[in-house]
C-alpha cells in the first residue's frame, strides 16, 4: 500500500485567479443545462476550485472513455525512455505470430508513431470489428490500409489497443501493471481499474476508471514537464513530443477538434492541449496559464463545455486576481444533477403499492414490475425468470444501490418525484460511469407504462437505456404469482 498524496488546496485569489470567473462558469453550466459530474481547476499546482454534482462524489472513480488514450501514450513514453522501442519501429515486428505474407504486405509501412498520431491509413475505426473477435490484434492487421500511413487523420481506438499490446510484448506486463510502478504509485493514484480484451490485454483506447483528482495529478505531471515531488518521472522530451501537433485534423478555427492531433493528445485553442474522453471527460492543460482544468461528465455537447472554459475560466487566470476583492465560490456547495422536480406524494401512491404489474414481452425478458411507495422512497422491483432486482429511489433525496446492467454490476444513485398525480419520474445515475437514465412511469387505471431515456447517445462502448419501454397490467393474484421467493411458482 502507498499513500494517496492529495494536491494542495487554496483560495483562487491566492494563485492569481478570480472566484468570480469560477462562479460565472458554474452559472453558465447550469443555465445551459450541461451535465457535468465533477470539475477541478489547478493553478500553479494548487487546487483552487473543485466540485461534484450530487450524487457524484469526490472519492468515487469515473470511467474516462478515450481520455484513457493519453495514459496509453504515457506508457509508450516510458517504454521509449527505457529503450524497449522507438516510435519509428515497424508495428508488425512486435507480432511475429501474425507475420504472414498477407499481413506484412498490408502493414509494412505502419510505424508506432502512426498508431500514436491516429494516422494509420485506415478509413474506419477498427475497434468495432476487433471487439467482435477474441483476437483483437489479428483483426486489426486484417483490415486493409486505404491510405499511406502518416498522411491522413482518422480517430481509431484500435490503434490505441495495439499500442497497449506492444507495451505488453516488450515489457512482459500488461499496460495497467506497467504503469502501476511508473505512474500510478509515484502520483498516489489508487483503486483504478482498466478494461481488457478477451486475451487479458489492457484495452488502451478506453476503459480506465480513476478519480477526478487523479486526472488532475496526471495533467499537473504533464504541465510540470514530467517532474513530480522533485523527481523526474517522465522525460520532458516525451511530453514535448506527445503534445505537439503531428497530424492535421481539420481547419475549423472555432473547433477544439480541429487544432491538430499529437500522440494520443488533442491540441486545443489558446495554446492548450488535452486528454479527451467521450461525453465530457477532459484533462485540459494550459501551459501559458500554468493551469489544469478537469471535468467528468455525461454530456453530448462537449464543445459547449470547452467553450465555457475559454469564456469564463481562462480570463479569470489572466487578471491580477490578488488585487481583486475575494468572492466566495458559493455555488460549489450547491451542485446537483438536474433531476425531476415535482411533488413528493401522489394520491395514487398507496393503491399502486399494492399492485404487481405483469408486463408485455420485451427484449430483456422482464416478467413483472412493482412499486412500493413510502413518504420518502420508492422501491422499484424488476422480476424476470432468473432474478429479482430492486432499485431504491429517494423522493427528495438520493439513494444508493447496485444493478446488473448489460451483465455488469453497476453502482447507481436514484431519486424521483411525481410531476402530476399519475406520472412518477425516476433519475438513475450510474455514478462511476457517464450514463444516467430517466424512467417515466405513467399510471392509468390498472396499467402502467415505463419509458426510459438515456442522457447521451448510444456508442459501441455504451449500451442502450437501462430498460426498453415496459407496458404492464395489474394482476389480481399478486401473492400467488410472487410466491415466497419473489418468483412465479
3-state SS, 81-144, equals: HCCCCCCCCEHHHHCHHHCCHHHHHHHCCCEHHHHHCCCCCCCCCCHHHHCCCCCHHHHHHHCC
In this structure, the strands spanning 408-420 and 388-395 are: parallel
Report the C-alpha gap between 349 and 306 in whole angstroms. Answer: 43
- The x, y and z cell numbers of residue 196, run together, are 481488457
Give the pLDDT of residue 80. 98
Q: How far apart are CA 163 and CA 324, in angstroms?
A: 48
d(CA 182, CA 79): 10
What pLDDT score does 405 carry? 80
Q: What pLDDT was estimated at residue 486?
A: 42
122 in Cβ contact with 145 (< 8 Å): yes
What stretch of H or E contains 145?
none
Q: How do 291-297 and 356-359 pair as beta strands?
A: unpaired
**Cell for 292?**
489544469
pLDDT at position 319 is 64
pLDDT recorded at residue 3: 47
pLDDT-flagged residues of the chain (< 70): 1-4, 319-331, 340-342, 458-465, 476-489
Task: Record the cell numbers describing residue 285, joined without a space.
Answer: 492543460
Report the alpha-carbon distance of residue 455 to residue 463 in Å, rounded. 12
Global pTM reads 0.93
C-alpha cell at 483: 410466491
CB 275, CB 282: distance < 8 Å: yes
Q: How many CB atoms neighbour CB 343 within 10 A?
A: 13
The strand pair at 368-373 and 377-383 is best described as antiparallel
pLDDT for 4 equals 57
Q: Hey, what's the torsion of the CAs at 16, 21, 26, 27, to 10 degrees? A: 160
Positive or negative: CA dihedral 213, 214, 217, 223: negative
Amino acid at each position: 500500500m502507498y499513500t494517496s498524496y492529495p494536491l494542495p488546496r487554496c483560495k483562487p485569489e491566492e494563485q492569481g485567479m478570480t472566484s468570480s470567473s469560477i462562479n460565472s462558469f458554474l452559472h453558465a453550466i447550469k443555465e445551459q443545462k450541461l451535465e457535468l459530474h465533477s470539475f477541478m481547476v489547478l493553478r500553479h499546482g494548487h487546487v483552487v476550485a473543485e466540485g461534484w454534482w450530487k450524487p457524484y462524489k469526490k472519492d468515487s472513480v469515473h470511467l474516462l472513455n478515450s481520455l484513457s488514450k493519453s495514459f496509453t501514450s504515457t506508457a509508450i513514453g516510458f517504454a521509449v525512455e527505457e529503450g524497449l522501442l522507438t516510435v519509428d519501429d515497424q508495428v508488425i515486428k512486435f507480432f511475429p505470430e501474425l507475420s504472414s505474407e498477407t499481413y506484412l504486405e498490408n502493414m509494412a509501412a505502419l510505424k508506432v508513431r502512426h498508431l500514436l498520431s491516429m494516422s494509420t491509413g485506415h478509413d474506419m475505426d477498427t475497434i468495432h470489428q476487433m471487439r467482435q473477435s477474441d483476437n483483437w490484434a489479428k483483426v486489426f492487421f486484417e483490415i486493409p490500409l486505404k491510405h499511406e500511413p502518416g498522411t491522413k487523420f482518422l480517430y481509431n481506438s484500435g490503434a490505441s489497443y495495439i499500442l497497449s499490446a506492444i507495451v505488453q510484448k516488450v515489457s512482459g506486463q500488461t499496460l495497467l501493471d506497467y504503469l502501476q510502478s511508473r505512474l500510478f504509485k509515484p502520483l498516489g493514484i489508487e483503486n483504478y481499474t482498466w478494461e481488457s480484451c478477451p486475451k487479458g490485454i489492457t484495452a488502451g483506447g478506453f476503459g480506465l476508471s480513476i478519480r477526478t483528482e487523479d486526472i488532475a495529478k496526471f495533467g499537473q505531471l504533464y504541465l510540470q514537464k514530467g517532474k513530480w515531488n522533485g523527481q523526474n518521472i517522465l522525460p520532458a522530451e516525451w511530453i514535448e513530443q506527445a503534445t505537439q501537433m503531428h497530424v492535421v485534423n481539420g481547419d475549423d478555427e472555432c473547433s477544439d477538434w480541429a487544432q491538430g492531433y499529437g500522440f494520443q493528445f488533442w491540441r486545443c485553442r489558446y495554446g492548450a492541449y488535452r486528454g479527451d474522453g467521450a461525453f465530457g471527460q477532459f484533462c485540459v492543460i494550459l501551459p501559458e496559464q500554468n493551469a489544469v482544468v478537469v471535468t467528468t461528465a455525461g454530456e453530448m455537447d462537449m464543445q459547449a463545455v470547452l467553450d465555457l472554459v475559454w469564456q469564463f475560466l481562462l480570463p479569470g487566470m489572466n487578471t491580477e486576481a490578488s488585487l481583486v476583492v475575494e468572492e466566495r465560490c458559493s455555488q460549489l456547495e450547491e451542485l446537483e444533477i438536474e433531476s425531476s422536480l415535482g411533488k413528493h406524494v401522489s394520491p395514487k401512491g398507496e393503491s399502486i403499492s399494492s399492485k404487481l404489474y405483469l408486463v408485455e414481452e420485451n427484449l430483456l425478458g422482464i416478467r413483472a414490475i412493482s412499486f412500493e411507495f413510502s413518504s420518502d422512497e420508492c422501491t422499484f422491483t424488476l422480476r424476470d425468470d432468473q432474478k429479482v432486482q430492486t432499485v431504491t429511489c429517494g423522493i427528495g433525496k438520493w439513494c444508493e444501490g447496485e444493478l446488473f446492467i448489460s451483465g455488469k454490476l453497476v453502482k447507481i444513485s436514484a431519486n424521483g418525484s411525481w410531476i402530476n398525480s399519475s406520472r412518477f419520474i425516476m433519475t438513475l445515475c450510474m455514478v462511476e460511469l457517464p450514463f444516467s437514465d430517466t424512467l417515466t412511469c405513467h399510471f392509468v387505471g390498472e396499467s402502467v407504462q415505463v419509458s426510459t431515456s438515456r442522457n447521451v447517445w448510444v456508442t459501441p462502448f455504451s449500451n442502450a437505456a437501462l430498460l426498453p419501454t415496459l407496458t404492464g397490467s395489474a394482476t389480481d393474484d399478486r401473492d400467488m404469482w410472487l410466491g415466497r421467493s419473489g418468483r412465479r411458482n
